[in-house]
């Protein structure tokens, strides 16, 4: 892909599936000429005649039988995403139609784009640096609101800006240190010891702050896990199915129906969480059983989910007499966000909530629901949202998440500078060994260059672009 930057490439760049509008995108020297062969404006305008950036309403003619209403967007090089000529044809979002349009362009000499190839061209042609490219990749894969915002920050170059400022400071420092090496015996002092220390300390502090305050972008993409826990037959699977809108889990009046943990995404307003259904909990009983008994295995899976869940829904059958095992379960979930869900509320005569509901610890909110009538489910969703997302994103709009590659480059830079700092010794003066000092500062500069892609390897590019989908 990187070795054929002048092929004209084509791909469907709208999401897969049927939609009102689909987009076919072409980039390369022949993009406009190729689009010109199938597209005509409503007043007979031809794409080859339009200048600069232009939008035309018209139609696509694949053959005489079918005319598709379409809009063409022309972006002439270099004022385009890839800095090449780009044409986007927006037409009906039917996958076979969009495939037929792409096929036509391929017959005429275009090549199908590989995943990420449009963005790779933007990079190769200098329109974007690597941190912004990773912003695009992260945005494509964003599954949560916070991840989307973090990827936007990357895309808009927030990380490049911050690292460019640090690099500039270090490059200046390096020039002065090197001048001192070259003119060691001269009368001029190019930079004083305290100045070197100040520049090093400032940059080490900036790097440390960036590393400390930026969550990992991969972690932001992982949905928070909400475990449904409770005694056999409490109504866990029925609640799971209701909340996820799926009919995945068998629910039945026979206790012990669910044998393993089952997960499914659950929409929660504009975010998503991962809901986990588990087998009914039987405290104390399993120790006596054979180790490979299915109940023991099921409980093991629940236990693992319990240790990693971000929040727990403790499901209690409100229509049944209170079961003391629930108190043990509450104790097991101490220090974790827990919501007690009193199910089957439809079976209780109005006005007579079970007594135990009023006795739970005050920091454990209780929501009464009926998975059958839907009563209380909205209140439960709000409670989950509150407990899971209450403390998230203390940095607000400044949130800048880092990929593990970026984190590594920043840590390398910090370590090199820390070594340089140690060389300066305790006397607040830079070491006489200026060459070694210069070496470490140079190392930090190249780690930062690796971050934005000024120093880059084919392998690294391959890994980054592998995260893209076709058409981007
Ligand atoms: N009336 C009423 N019945 C419910 C409600 N929720 C669940 N049930 C019934 O309670 C029984 C047990 O439900 P399940 O969802 O299978 O319970 P579970 O906790 O998953 O059970 P195990 O997997 O065996 O631990 C079923 O007969 C459900 O129809 C509810 O809100 N109202
Ligand atoms: Mg179940």
3-state secondary structure 199-255: HHHHHHHHHHHHHHHCCEHHHHHCCCEEEEEECCCCCHHHHHHHHHCCCCCCCCCCC
Torsion angle, alpha carbons of 338, 339, 342, 346, to 10:
-150
Kindly give the distance from the C-alpha atom of residue 257 to the centroid of ligand 2, in angstroms, as a whole number. 5
Closest ligand by atom to 232 CA: 1
Higher pLDDT, 17 or 160: 160
Q: Over the stretch 85-105, which tens digit does the pLDDT of each residue have?
A: 999 999 998 888 999 999 999
Which residue, judged by its Cα, is nearest atom 32 of ligand 1?
A: 344
| Nearest atom of ligand 1 to the alpha carbon of 369 | 31
Distance 33 CA to ligand 1 centre (A): 64
Q: Is the pLDDT assigned to residue 218 strictly greater than 90? A: no
- Pocket residue to mutate for ligand 1, from 227, 235, 240, most atoms within 8 A of Cβ: 235
Ligand nearest to the backbone CA of 369: 1
Q: Per residue in 30-85, pLDDT tens?
A: 999 999 999 999 999 999 998 888 899 999 998 766 789 999 999 999 989 999 99
Q: What is the pLDDT of residues 403-435, one digit of tens each?
A: 777 888 899 999 999 999 888 765 555 556 788
- The pair of three-digit structure tokens given for residue 374, joined into one six-digit string: 């839907």
For atom 29 of ligand 1, the residue with the nearest CA is: 252
Domains in the chain (CATH in brackets) are: 9-128 (3.30.1360.120), 135-215+399-453 (1.20.120.430), 231-389 (3.40.50.300)
Cα gap 266→345, rounded to integer Å: 22
Query: If residue 9 lies in a helix (H) or strand (E), which one and from where to where?
Result: strand 9-12
pLDDT, tens digit, for every residue of 274-299? 899 988 887 655 444 444 445 555 66
What share of the chain in percent tops pLDDT 90? Answer: 34
Instruction: Compute the distance between CA of residue 136 and CA of residue 80 in angstroms, rounded to an integer.
Output: 16
Q: Whose CA is nearest to atom 27 of ligand 1?
A: 253
Which ligand 1 atom is at minimum distance from the Cα of 315? Answer: 19
Q: How far apart are CA 240 and CA 375, in angstroms?
A: 15
Task: Take residue 356 and report the two structure tokens written for it.
Answer: 């135990």
Q: Whose CA is nearest to atom 4 of ligand 1?
A: 344
Phi, psi of 379 (to 5 degrees): -60, -35
Other beta carbons within 10 angstroms of residue 300's beta carbon come to 14
CB atoms within 10 A of CB 205: 11
- Rounded to the nearest angstrom, the distance between the alpha carbon of 264 and the centre of ligand 2 is 14
Q: Which ligand is nearest to the CA of 280?
A: 1
Mean pLDDT over all residues of the chain? 82
The atom of ligand 1 lying closest to the CA of 256 is 24
pLDDT digits (tens, 9 = 90+) for 173-209: 888 888 777 776 665 666 677 888 899 999 999 999 8
Pocket around ligand 1 at a 6 A CB cut-off: 230, 232-238, 251-253, 255-258, 279-280, 343-344, 346-347, 370-372
Residue 242 alpha carbon to ligand 2 centre in Å? 13
């Amino acid at each position: 892909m990187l070795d054929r930057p002048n092929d004209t490439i084509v791909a469907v760049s709208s999401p897969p599936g049927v939609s009102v509008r689909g987009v076919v995108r072409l980039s390369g020297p022949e993009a406009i000429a190729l689009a010109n062969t199938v597209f005509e404006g409503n007043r007979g305008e031809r794409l080859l005649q339009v200048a600069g950036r232009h939008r035309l309403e018209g139609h696509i003619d694949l053959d005489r039988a079918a005319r598709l209403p379409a809009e063409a967007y022309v972006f002439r090089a270099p004022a385009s995403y890839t800095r090449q000529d780009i044409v986007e044809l927006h037409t009906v979002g039917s996958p076979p139609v969009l495939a037929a349009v792409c096929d036509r362009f391929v017959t005429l000499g275009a090549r199908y784009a590989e995943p990420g190839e449009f963005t790779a061209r933007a990079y190769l042609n200098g329109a974007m640096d690597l941190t912004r490219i990773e912003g695009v990749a992260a945005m494509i894969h964003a599954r949560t609101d916070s991840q989307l915002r973090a990827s936007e920050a990357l895309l808009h170059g927030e990380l490049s800006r911050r690292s460019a400022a640090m690099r500039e400071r270090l490059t200046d420092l390096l020039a002065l240190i090197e001048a001192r090496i070259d003119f060691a015996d001269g009368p001029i002092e190019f930079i004083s010891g305290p100045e070197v220390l100040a520049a090093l300390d400032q940059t080490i502090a900036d790097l440390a702050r960036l590393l400390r305050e930026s969550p990992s972008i991969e972690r932001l993409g992982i949905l928070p896990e909400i475990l449904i826990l409770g005694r056999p037959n409490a109504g866990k699977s029925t609640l799971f199915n209701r909340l996820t809108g799926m009919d995945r889990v068998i629910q039945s009046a026979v206790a012990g129906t669910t044998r393993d943990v089952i997960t499914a995404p659950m929409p929660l307003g504009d975010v998503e969480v991962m809901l986990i259904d588990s087998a009914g909990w039987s405290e104390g009983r399993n120790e006596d059983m054979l180790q490979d008994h299915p109940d023991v295995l099921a409980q093991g899976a629940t236990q693992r989910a319990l240790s990693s869940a971000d929040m727990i829904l403790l499901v209690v059958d409100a229509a049944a007499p209170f079961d003391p095992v629930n108190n043990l379960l509450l104790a097991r979930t101490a220090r974790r966000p827990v919501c007690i869900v009193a199910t089957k509320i439809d079976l209780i005569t109005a006005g007579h909530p079970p007594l135990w509901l009023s006795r739970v610890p005050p920091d454990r909110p209780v929501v009464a629901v009926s998975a059958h009538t839907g009563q209380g489910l909205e209140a439960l969703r709000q409670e989950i949202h509150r407990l899971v997302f209450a403390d998230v994103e203390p940095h607000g709009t400044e949130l800048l998440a880092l990929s593990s590659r970026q984190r590594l480059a920043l840590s390398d830079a910090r370590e090199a500078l820390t070594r340089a700092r140690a060389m300066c010794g305790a006397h607040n003066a830079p070491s006489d060994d200026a060459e070694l000092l210069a070496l470490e500062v140079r190392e930090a500069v190249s780690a930062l260059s690796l971050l934005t892609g000024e120093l880059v390897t084919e392998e690294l590019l391959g890994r980054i672009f592998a995260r893209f989908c076709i058409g981007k």
